[in-house]
Structure 1
Amino acid sequence: MASILDTLRRVAGGPARPAVAVQAEQKSSRVGPLIALQGQGRPLWSPRDYAGLAREGYARNPIVFRAVRMVCEAAASVPLLLYEDDRELTVHPLLDLIARPNPHECGRDLIEGVLGHLLVSGNAYVERVDIDGVPRELYRLRPDRMKLVPGPDGWPEAYEYSVNGRSVRFAVDGEAPSPILHLKQFHPLDDQYGFAPIEAAQVSLDVHNQASAWAKALLDNSARPSGALVYQAKDGGNLSDEQFSRLKKELEDGFQGASNAGRPLLLEGGLDWKAMGYSPKDMDFIEAKREAAREIALAFGVPPMLLGIPGDNTYSNYAEANRAFWRLTVLPLVARTTEALTGWLGPAFGARLRLGWDVDAIEALADERSALWKRLGEATFLDEDEKRLAVGYSPRGASAGRIPTDAVP
């Protein structure tokens, strides 16, 4: 493969370099070096403020918190299966590793935390600890502490993890398995980092948070919109400094705060109350907050009905909304996670392994499976082995077990 320098010489009409020993051609993207030049081989920090998104979203907004928890807990609850070609394996070191990835977490905790990072930041990182070339432990790493170092081909040549001024560098060798698994959501404007769902809902998130803050401030200020006391003296004079201070103190002590809501305001001669600002009715306060909540739920792929948001009639009942949640949000996330883990961990065990999941164990999809079994039971044009294949089980004459999930209709 000719170098970039030779290509430039030919374009300019000049002679190419003298021929040298031809090396084996390697497959690579032609635009990879351009991506690498953008970073100049330096660490690239994620352009988003992960801490700010986590605080304003997950830690402060109940809709974001519940949506993230629902997706992560649902995905982590799906039992994982292991296949060698089309044969299910019930005992294997890879299954043991996933069930107990490190001494401090179980498999569900690890997957739940990794997917939580993925939803809040758009990126998730897992560290792999090998002994004699075989993965023994897995650890999840915080996205805000990780930075990526692009190599000459545009792909990462290292990851740097920094905590309190101290850094650990994970070198990425193209021939050896990467010590870091980087999961990321699709980002249309970034070559290295993913896009967080919470970013797409950031405007709605601000509206929802500010609406709650406004309601709280309104309660703290006598449950009334802001207003002003206007002094209208007959002689056209103003309040003295002593009168002004006394009036202000009386208002703060006797009329401000939720405990004083509804308490009548006694005005002395020359004072008049003038309301300022819009009332909650004028601002359509409640509906604006609900609409913001619906948009946040939409960004995370959670039907608003499952979050208790009123006014959403997209689904006729809760069970239908729950099935849509599993089919459209949870299972695609499980699929991409198992595929990433398969490609990252599987080759280390020297076998054609693949991870799948147990559809039969998902309670929300039980009605679908029951309907499928009923239809197959009534299908007289299929023999028993064909019916077993249709529901994900091997034929009776083959090895016992289930076939890979993606082979099930």
Structure 2
Amino acid sequence: MPLFQKPRPPEIKDSRAARLIALTTSGRPQWTPRDYAALASEGFAKNPVVYRCVRMIAEAAAATPLIVFHDGQRALDHPLQKLLRKPNPEQGGPDLMEAFFGNLQTAGNAYLEAGGDSETPEELYALRPDRMTLVPGPRGWPLAYDYQAGGRTVRIARDADGWLPVLHLKLFNPTSDHYGLSPLEAAAFAIDVHNASSAWNKALLDNSARPSGALVYSNREAGDRLSEEQFERLKAELAGAHSGASNAGRPLLLEGGLDWRAMSLSPAEMDFTNGKHAAAREIALAFGVPPQLLGVPGDATYANYREANAAFWRHTVAPLVERAARAMTAWLEVKFPGVRIAPDLDAVPAFSAERDALWARLDAASFLTLEERRRMAGLEG
């Protein structure tokens, strides 16, 4: 061994995809097998209903605490619990899970990558779904994942024990074996209608005082025709004094045989407002968000806001978080034997009324032992 051997630089834990993110400066990401960029642009970025639905679901799901059980006992100091609390140097647990659930709602696919140099994962990262490509094995099961960014590709493959350091959670898709179906795709037509309605409203505002009809000139002595000078003067007057938002509602002064004849349908005749609200309700339906929580009028499914909020948590958020917890348990129990991840629904204020009713029933059941009551209440150990 040489006496003056140069020391090796210290190893730094990091995501294998992180180095590509810093090199990404331009270029449109390619989505397989659908155009994710168009869905994200037209749906999430340009539609307030979709934006609010995704944010509500992602924030609510991320706000639900994840707890770790080891051999049936709650383990507050378990390394996996610490990992979920602080998954990487840049994010806390709720921040990571918000990105994870947001990707799932936007793309129908969500990915977590485990990083670190030891045998057990030391860091977790949420990877962008539009940059991920599944590499199937001979039997169709995932063999590896390719992460593309900045014109480069990193393959994240299975380790020596056959464990894949990528968790892929996807929504059910009847036409694909490897990729999930996004709620954005199911609501695509409703999103187009809602966006078109907003574009119509914007155009109506910009051109509100421009006549949506015809000016008819009647003068038999002039042959029912305007002279070139009169025509140009009329055009200039309409463009300067009767177009644009600042001139909205300004009346037309007709003279010299001019008569106004409307030629377009009014928004009321086109049922403009009701159509836009119907599209908003369809979008909310695809995401599982009660329209009442979005302020969309015309929906009386729930008697009040509190019932709608409880239904949102019970039928949308809770199943989503429980599914993610089960997937994370199946993924990480290989590295952390004997563990189970579960959502702490008792910490969610929306379920307080249900929990109070359950505890009251258990307290009245005198024929049950204390251990049986704790087990039925979901308290283990």
TM-score by length of 1: 0.81
User: Given the alignment of the two structures, is residue 61 of structure 1 paired with residue 31 of structure 2, yes or no?
Assistant: no
1:151–1:393 distance in 2 versus 1, CA, 3 Å:
closer
Which residue of 325, 328, 341 maps to 2:312? 325
Which residue of 134, 137, 150 maps to 2:123? 137
Which residue of 186, 197, 208 maps to 1:200? 186
Tell me which moved more, 251-260 or 66-75: 251-260
1:370–1:173 distance in 2 versus 1, CA, 3 Å:
same
Paired residue type of 1:252: A
Which residue of 89, 113, 116 maps to 2:99? 113
User: Given the alignment of the two structures, is residue 311 of structure 1 paired with residue 309 of structure 2, yes or no?
Assistant: no
Partner residue in 2 for 1:18: none
1:354–1:224 distance in 2 versus 1, CA, 3 Å:
farther
Which residue of 311, 325, 335 maps to 1:348? 335
Partner residue in 2 for 1:20: none
The separation in 2 between residues aligned to 1:214 and 1:181, in whole angstroms, is 43
Which residue of 274, 277, 282 maps to 2:264? 277
**How large is the Cα RMSD of the aligned pairs?**
2.0
User: Given the alignment of the two structures, is residue 390 of structure 1 paired with residue 379 of structure 2, yes or no?
Assistant: no
Partner residue in 2 for 1:171: 157
* Structure 2 residue matching 1:347: 3-state secondary structure: coil
* Structure 2 residue matching 1:170: 3-state secondary structure: strand
The separation in 2 between residues aligned to 1:86 and 1:145, in whole angstroms, is 38
Which residue of 47, 51, 56 maps to 2:37? 51
1:155–1:270 distance in 2 versus 1, CA, 3 Å:
farther
The separation in 2 between residues aligned to 1:223 and 1:146, in whole angstroms, is 50
Answer yes or no: is the 8 Å Cα contact 1:81–1:356 preserved in 2.
Answer: yes
User: Given the alignment of the two structures, is residue 79 of structure 1 paired with residue 83 of structure 2, yes or no?
Assistant: no
Partner residue in 2 for 1:31: none
Paired residue type of 2:65: P
Answer yes or no: is the 8 Å Cα contact 1:225–1:279 preserved in 2.
Answer: no
Paired residue type of 1:212: S
**Structure 2: segments with no counterpart, 5+ residues:** 1-29
Which residue of 366, 370, 378 maps to 1:380? 366
The separation in 1 between residues aligned to 2:153 and 2:329, in whole angstroms, is 29
The separation in 2 between residues aligned to 1:173 and 1:273, in whole angstroms, is 77
Tell me by how many angstroms 1:338 deviates: 0.8
Partner residue in 1 for 2:167: 181
1:73–1:230 distance in 2 versus 1, CA, 3 Å:
same
* Structure 1 residue matching 2:163: 3-state secondary structure: coil
Paired residue type of 1:341: M
Tell me by how many angstroms 1:60 deviates: 1.4
Answer yes or no: is the 8 Å Cα contact 1:45–1:148 preserved in 2.
Answer: no
Which residue of 237, 240, 247 maps to 1:253? 240
* Superimposed CA distance per residue, residues 207-242 of structure 1 (whole angstroms, 9 cap, x where no aligned partner): 111111111111111267732334445344654555
1:223–1:213 distance in 2 versus 1, CA, 3 Å:
farther
Answer yes or no: is the 8 Å Cα contact 2:208–2:249 preserved in 1.
Answer: yes
The separation in 1 between residues aligned to 2:369 and 2:326, in whole angstroms, is 32
The separation in 1 between residues aligned to 2:35 and 2:294, in whole angstroms, is 26
User: Given the alignment of the two structures, is residue 295 of structure 1 paired with residue 282 of structure 2, yes or no?
Assistant: yes
* Structure 1 residue matching 2:133: 3-state secondary structure: strand
The separation in 2 between residues aligned to 1:179 and 1:241, in whole angstroms, is 76
1:85–1:355 distance in 2 versus 1, CA, 3 Å:
same
Tell me which moved more, 139-148 or 361-370: 139-148
Tell me by how many angstroms 1:303 deviates: 0.8
* Structure 2 residue matching 1:183: 3-state secondary structure: strand
The separation in 2 between residues aligned to 1:224 and 1:252, in whole angstroms, is 8
1:259–1:95 distance in 2 versus 1, CA, 3 Å:
same
The separation in 2 between residues aligned to 1:126 and 1:250, in whole angstroms, is 62
Tell me by how many angstroms 1:150 deviates: 2.2
* Superimposed CA distance per residue, residues 40-71 of structure 1 (whole angstroms, 9 cap, x where no aligned partner): xxxx9523221111121211111111111111
Answer yes or no: is the 8 Å Cα contact 2:209–2:242 preserved in 1.
Answer: no
The separation in 2 between residues aligned to 1:321 and 1:45, in whole angstroms, is 35
Paired residue type of 2:280: A
User: Given the alignment of the two structures, is residue 91 of structure 1 paired with residue 77 of structure 2, yes or no?
Assistant: yes
The separation in 2 between residues aligned to 1:206 and 1:225, in whole angstroms, is 27
Residues matched between the structures, number? 351
Tell me by how many angstroms 1:110 deviates: 0.6
The separation in 2 between residues aligned to 1:229 and 1:128, in whole angstroms, is 69
TM-score by length of 2: 0.86
* Structure 2 residue matching 1:366: 3-state secondary structure: helix
Answer yes or no: is the 8 Å Cα contact 1:58–1:120 preserved in 2.
Answer: yes
* Structure 1 residue matching 2:327: 3-state secondary structure: helix
Answer yes or no: is the 8 Å Cα contact 2:210–2:243 preserved in 1.
Answer: no
Paired residue type of 1:51: A
User: Given the alignment of the two structures, is residue 266 of structure 1 paired with residue 266 of structure 2, yes or no?
Assistant: no
* Superimposed CA distance per residue, residues 60-107 of structure 1 (whole angstroms, 9 cap, x where no aligned partner): 111111111111111111111111232111111111111111111111
Tell me which moved more, 167-176 or 46-55: 167-176
**Structure 1: segments with no counterpart, 5+ residues:** 1-43, 395-400, 402-409
Tell me by how many angstroms 1:171 deviates: 2.3
Identity rate of aligned residues, in percent? 58
Paired residue type of 2:57: V
